[in-house]
Chains A and B, each alone.
Chain A
Amino acid sequence: MKDILILGIETSCDETAAAIVKNGRHILSNVINSQISIHQQFGGVVPEVASRKHIENIAGVVDMAFKEAGLEYSDIDAVAVANAPGLVGALLVGVSFAKGFAYAIDKPLIAVNHLQGHIYANFLEHENISFPAICLVVSGGHTSLLYMKSRGDLKLIGETRDDAAGEAFDKVARFLGLGYPGGPAIQKAAQNGLAGRYKLPRVFMDRNNYEFSFSGLKTAAMNLWRKSEKQGDANISDLAAEFQEALVEVLVDKTVRAGLEYKVNTLLMAGGVAANQKLRNMLKKRAEETGLQLYFPALQLCTDNAAMIAGDAHYYYINEQFAPLTLNAHPGLWSL
């Protein structure tokens, strides 16, 4: 069978990314132009600034993806683009570019859900993932537990009622002056600290459901910090360690419990926060103890990238599920 080469484009937040993936498995190129250093001065992603950077970077990033793969534009079989969810102005840059590019080379356009792309990052690296599975999608915009009957059949079983886990990391890091993005900043500070010296709550909500809430934990961490600063015994590393542990424990507990309750064999993890080392280690340990098979993507495939978009698109290509030229971007669509 002929190889299928797909160009993926990803502009949903603050990374302008393009990648070429062969047969949904082999990454031929994976170019990411990160805007982190630009958004750092604002203490978080500014949508208008992100959109402006995308339009400046998109042509160069796509060109680089072809150069790294050693391919001509006309060599690819389809153009895939993340069109939801995300910052709508940012998504529109990728969607509009992808439409023009696909139209010009006369190849089909494929729309990919960004979150589904994150989940697919697992399949880029691991063969024979068995279903059903429970997948924890955890990022700056989402904290969701999904029941996956098969590769394309997903059901949401629980999500956060307030802040996403990554958002809580960002807000607490910003409050503590640790910088942006918050996940890596807190992980770094926590390395020199010890969880348990400070006491933060583990917010389980109802132990019998799969809902999350991180807003209260975030506030408790901030209050505790103010209090200990007044007392003169503040230790930022210990607080970072305790906050990280409190957040991760809840994620791990609910994910493993969902795995057992839904009687699956497999646990998956996806999204930027899945790069957190504490979360990876703790979930790995609990999965081993309970006999569940755990997969998570390599670090560079956890955060936003276009390889996950191009990879996921393979499935749509095979099924000839193509997008029309009227394709639009959607900020909050869970079209699963």
Chain B
Amino acid sequence: MKLLILAIDSATPVAGVALLTEEKLLKEEFSNYKKTHSETLMVMIDRVMKECECNLDELTAIALSIGPGSFTGLRIGMATVKGLSQAKAIPLVAIPTLDAIAHNITGTKALVCPLLDARKQEVYTAFYAVGNTYPQRLGDIMACSPEDFVEAALEKAGEQGQDGFILLGDGYYRYREFFQEKLGDRIKEVPLHLALPRASAVGSLAIDKVRQEDYADPLELRPLYIRLSEAEYRLGKGEL
């Protein structure tokens, strides 16, 4: 049976919806304009489905970018997807947002470092080695200051024998000057169309998981926040 996957991303200011089979990206919508996801996402889904004359019943799975990212953005996407999948019993595939951004990159010896603006002077990041295959994540996803990121990236590149750094994602552009100053021409930038999360990459990463039926439990699935809420954090510190 042919796989048909609807992929959704609303983790950052970008909203994206894509429909794909194993062989073909059928349609993709990408929006990085200031309208809120709650007003746009469902309309984008509807447009993608209608234009491809696709019925929800035909979907093999829905792939979702689960974070890290904006807490509210993540929940808008996840709640929408939970509603869709529950009503029609469509399996869900959870894809970490940073994995999807790293998936924009192929064939490089450089260390791939997707960065998302985490506010509070921090970024969400993880390191990926590409080599001759798809990007493989090296270690955990973390929230850290740009300074700590630079330190960790230098260490990781040393371990891996990698020289350059591919920095991408909105967290890179937010602190670009600082990163340029610290890492200079070892930074390789990517063209604009690869710099931010793409729903097509979320869907593409989901293909293998769908083949293996590596599905998320819709009752258990929750966003990958990485951070505690402010109140939980303070409670843990004994400030409340």
Q: How large is the interface on B (under 10, 10 to 19, 20 to 34, 35 or more residues)?
A: 35 or more
Per-residue interface assignment for chain B, residues 204 to 238, with 1 indicating a CB less than 8 Å from any chain A CB and 0 otherwise: 00000000000000110011010001111001000
Per the bound structure, the CA–CA distance linking A52 and B221 in Å amounts to 11
B84 interfacial contact with A, CB 8 Å: yes
B72 interfacial contact with A, CB 8 Å: yes
CB nearest to B86 among chain A residues: A59
A32 interfacial contact with B, CB 8 Å: no
Contact of B75 among A55, A59, A101 (CB under 8 A): A55
A99: shortest Cβ distance to chain B, in Å?
A: 5
**Which one of A89-97, A193-201, A303-311 is at the B interface?**
A89-97
Specify which chain B residues have a CB less than 8 angstroms from the CB of A63 in the assembled complex. 86, 219
A39: shortest Cβ distance to chain B, in Å?
A: 9
A125 interfacial contact with B, CB 8 Å: no
Specify which chain B residues have a CB less than 8 angstroms from the CB of A99 in the assembled complex. 42, 80, 83
Q: Given A73-B87, A100-B87, is A43 in contact with B240 using a C-beta cutoff of 8 Å?
A: yes
Residues B88 and A46 in contact, CB atoms below 8 Å apart: no
B145 interfacial contact with A, CB 8 Å: no
CB nearest to B232 among chain A residues: A49
B160 interfacial contact with A, CB 8 Å: no
Specify which chain B residues have a CB less than 8 angstroms from the CB of A325 in the assembled complex. 42-43, 46
Per-residue interface assignment for chain A, residues 166 to 182, with 1 indicating a CB less than 8 Å from any chain B CB and 0 otherwise: 00000000000000000
B65: shortest Cβ distance to chain A, in Å?
A: 15
Residues B56 and A96 in contact, CB atoms below 8 Å apart: no
A132: shortest Cβ distance to chain B, in Å?
A: 36
14 sample A-B contacts, Cβ–Cβ < 8 Å, listed by A number: A48-B71, A51-B75, A54-B79, A60-B219, A88-B72, A89-B75, A92-B72, A97-B82, A99-B80, A99-B83, A100-B85, A103-B46, A326-B42, A327-B39
B binding-site residues for A, Cβ under 8 Å: 36, 38-43, 45-46, 56, 71-72, 75-88, 218-219, 222-223, 225, 229-232, 235, 240
